[in-house]
Amino acid sequence: MIEMAQADSLINGQAHTLSDADNPQGIGHPRVSVTYYTADEVIRQFLGLYYCLDFKAELEDIGITRLQFIRRGKAIREFRAICIALWGLALQKSFPNDAGDFFSEFREKAPMLVGGGKESARLYERVNAYIEMLELKKDTDFSTVADLLAKTLAPHAEEVPRLRLRLSLIIRNLYVLIFDKLV
């Protein structure tokens, strides 16, 4: 059984390896290393990734060129909102007990969401919309988000089905990237 001092060290974010004396019945693996991350560490890691994403390849993949300034700006804003929502989803999978607290703290402190301008308010609204869409199927199916995004970005209605498939793959790849770089 874990002593109170060991439990306190775990709660306070310190890794601890259990010894054989801590596990007299031999239940599970005799040596377990538990590492806890603070919200600041996890948020800092995501912000580093968030600011590094430029979406050049994704935009090229869906046929948005550098000279399509309005479509390009809109697509980048949507991709940024999707990335934040996907990060929240990845947090739920990796930190099931702390995900809500980490994400709430991020939403309260993130400069892109609390800037006070029109752009911050719009991003906050888009993030909420994508979070709501992702709640149903979590990380198993991104087609709902891809469908909305395809309808938003497609210049012509006949391009929506082709764009939907590409966007589903792009969103899946963004999720995998975010999940892999979580900590």
The domain segmentation of the chain, as residue ranges, is 4-34, 39-180
Round to whole Å and give the CA distance between 76 and 138.
Answer: 22
Summarised one tens digit per residue, pLDDT across range 152-182 is 998 888 999 999 999 999 999 999 999 999 8
Alpha carbon separation from 75 to 50, 64, 126, 153, 154 (Å, rounded):
15, 9, 12, 7, 10
Round to whole Å and give the CA distance between 127 and 32.
Answer: 37
What are the tokens at 164? 């939907």
Summarised one tens digit per residue, pLDDT across range 45-55 is 999 999 999 99
Summarised one tens digit per residue, pLDDT across range 88-124 is 999 999 999 999 999 999 999 898 988 878 999 999 9
Give the confidence band of 85 by pLDDT, cuts at 50, 70, 90. Answer: very high
